[in-house]
Amino acid sequence: MLAAAVRRSGASFVGIERDRAAAALARENTTLNGLTDRVEVLEGDVLAGFRPLALPTFDAAMANPPFFDDPKALRAPATAKTGAWMADGGLEAWAAFLLKAVREGGTITIVHRADRLADILALLSPKAGSFRIRPVHPFADEPAKRVLVRAIKTGKAPLVLLPPLVLHERGGAKHTAKAEAILRGEAALPWA
């Protein structure tokens, strides 16, 4: 969220965090980065829904939900990391929250595992459309492991599969030039 706030100097941001310590750390980072005039961090839980936060709907919502919702599907993470790995209520809770959090015509952006793309589309499509999907590949010759999905609430445009973002080159620098430029804030990730 702070990286987005730095890139979008005219926008205000509200972050929702259910872990009290993580919320305190996010507020401290907001202060250290001089963003308290445009960034607010609230404690809340996606599983409880959007309404209890008593916030107006937003123009846009971004989420990086925990990647797993079946504790039998992977070796359990350390207890302290369970909340970051396991999505209580699954993707269903996250999709419902995001759909309530944005106004009609607002955008929803999710980063998640590529193998959950069909689930993401199915969960958002009753109320959102105009999907734009960008696969994220670790290397150009490997399948995508992540996807960036952007949807518009009540959007009706056809789905667009965008060119992939490739993160690494074999034997080269740590990141591809494009990925490095994005990470350093020198380039944006286009959605067109």
Domain holding 150: CATH number? 3.40.50.150
Higher pLDDT, 80 or 160: 160
Q: Note the pLDDT tens digit of each residue in 100-138.
A: 999 999 999 999 999 999 999 999 998 999 999 999 999
Amino acid at 57: T
H runs (alpha helix) in 13-89: 20-32, 82-85
The band of 190, judged by pLDDT with boundaries at 50, 70 and 90, is confident
Task: Please compute Rg for the chain using Cα positions.
Answer: 17
CA triple 69-100-58, angle to 5 deg: 115
* Share of residues in the chain with pLDDT > 90 (%): 74
Q: Give the domain range for residue 101.
A: 63-183
The model scores a pTM over 0.85? yes
43-83, pLDDT tens digit by residue?
999 999 999 999 999 999 999 887 666 656 655 556 665 55
Structural domain contains residue 24 = yes
Cβ proximity of 114 and 144 under 8 Å: yes
Looking at the DSSP bridge assignments, the partners of residue 61 are 108
Residues 25 and 94 in one domain: no
Residue 8 belongs to a domain: yes
Tokens 């106004």 locate to 103
- Please give the biggest Cα pair distance in the chain: 51
Residue 34 falls inside a structural domain: yes
